[in-house]
Amino acid sequence: MINFNTLPVMSDFSDLKYGDKIYSRRFGLGTVLSLYNNEVVAQFSDRRTRIALDEKDISLIPESSTKKNRRNANAIIRGEKVSFGKMKKMMRQEISDEWISISEAADVLGLRKKVLIENCEKNGIEITKFGIRKQDLFKSKQLLSNK
């Protein structure tokens, strides 16, 4: 952990740019919003303020001590490179296409939930947190109609 009070005070704001992390002994950690000749406008946790160069209060925080921006996650699905958000959307669509909740399955078959679960366990039909596969629902329906 860096002791920010030991950082050198800036004598020139020409190296600063938008988004740089700075430290002020009066205001704490902040981010550069804009520059005006010999003044910097910075956003601190509780205020936005304009600090002049002659106040000798601003230190630049090295980039090595700041958090890096998170990189976007990507996945390859069916040979196509997709973003993480699109992958989640595709997974939700696949779940809704292939699975049905236990409550809905019980309504379709005209059974109580408990009876449906017992029937599935007896016939080796898998029940997961997503519910029951639609193809297994048809299998369960055929087994019930044969009784």
Per-residue pLDDT tens over the stretch 4-56:
777 778 888 888 888 888 888 888 888 999 888 788 888 988 889 888 888 88
| pTM, entire model | 0.45
Residues in the chain: 147
Burial category of 147 from C-beta neighbours within 10 Å (exposed 0-12, middle 13-18, buried 19 and up): exposed
Question: pLDDT tens digits, residue range 53-106?
Answer: 888 888 888 776 666 666 677 778 778 888 888 888 888 888 888 888 888 888
For 146, residues 6+ apart whose C-beta sits below 8 A from its C-beta are none
* Partners of 58 in the β-ladder: 24
Residue whose entry in the numeric block shows the structure tokens 């704001």:
13
CA distances 70 to 67, 73, 118, Å, are 9, 9, 47
Report all structural domains of the chain as residue ranges with CATH numbers, in order of start: 4-65 (2.30.30.30), 70-98 (no CATH), 101-146 (no CATH)
Identify the pLDDT of residue 71: 67
Q: What is the DSSP letter of 55?
A: G
